[in-house]
Amino acid sequence: MPGCSECLGFANRRQNARSASDYSAATDANVYLRRHLEAEHEESQGA
């Protein structure tokens, strides 16, 4: 979500993990990002 520091943090964690070839950590970041999006941004996405 544009402007959300938590979304940006999870995206950065995912990118850093991918850069380090730590795909387990990248998957974890995806899971945390998805949970965050569902919990914090669901209403703003029209769901």
Torsion on CA atoms 46, 15, 36, 28, rounded to nearest 10: 130
Decide if 38 contacts 7 (C-beta within 8 A): no
What are φ and ψ of residue 8, in 5° steps?
Answer: -60, -40
Report the pLDDT value the prediction gives residue 43, as an integer from 0 to 100: 66
Report the pLDDT value the prediction gives residue 27, as an integer from 0 to 100: 98
Report the pLDDT value the prediction gives residue 46, as an integer from 0 to 100: 55
* Mean pLDDT on 8-37: 97
Torsion on CA atoms 17, 20, 21, 22, rounded to nearest 10: -50
* Mean pLDDT on 6-31: 97
Q: pTM of the predicted model, to two decimals?
A: 0.80
